[in-house]
Amino acid sequence: MLLHAWNHTRLVHNGVMRTTRKAVRQSVSLPVSVAAQVRNMARSRRLSANRMLVELIENGIQAEAEKQKEFFDLAERFRNATDPEEVKRLGEQLGRMVFGN
């Protein structure tokens, strides 16, 4: 469905976009600064604050899954390493991932 007004076209839905999945209502308290950032991000992307929160959470979940995969891949390389220098380097990388800098 397209809306036409004053030579501007705005795509509302193209039929390919993700459809709404069953939603669960969840109450979350946010610090004032975080809520303001969410509102500003939503406004700049022309989304509702709720939709912006959903996208941020989905992106965070995906980032955590990727970080976990990276950790397990690195741990596997560490276990399989035979060169002492590589073992040391990979061990240091694992340490930074677990404990930070």
Residue 18 domain-assigned (yes or no): no
- Looking at the structure of the chain, the number of domains it has is 1
What's the CA gap between 92 and 85, in Å, rounded?
A: 11
Give the pLDDT confidence score for residue 38 in this predicted structure: 97
Amino acid type, 55 = E
Task: Note whether residue 10 is domain-resident.
Answer: no
What's the domain range around 78?
Answer: 26-99
Residue 6, in any domain of the structure = no
pLDDT of residue 85: 95
Q: What is the pLDDT of residue 100?
A: 83
What the block records as the tokens of 10 is 């705005």
At 76, phi and psi to the nearest 5? Answer: -65, -45
- Identity of residue 61: I
User: 73 lies in a domain?
Assistant: yes
In the prediction, which pLDDT does 12 show? 62
pTM of the model: 0.65
Q: Is 1 part of any domain?
A: no
Is the distance from CB of 28 to CB of 34 less than 8 angstroms? Answer: no
Classify residue 3: in a domain, yes or no: no
* Per-residue pLDDT tens digits of the chain, which is 101 residues long: 455 555 556 656 555 666 667 888 999 999 999 999 999 999 999 999 999 999 999 999 999 999 999 999 999 999 999 999 999 999 999 999 999 87
Bridge partners of 9? 4
Residue burial 23-52, b: 16+ Cβ < 10 Å; e: rest: eeeeeeeeeeeeeeebeeebeeeeeeeeeb
19 is a domain residue? no
Does residue 95 lie within any of the structural domains? yes
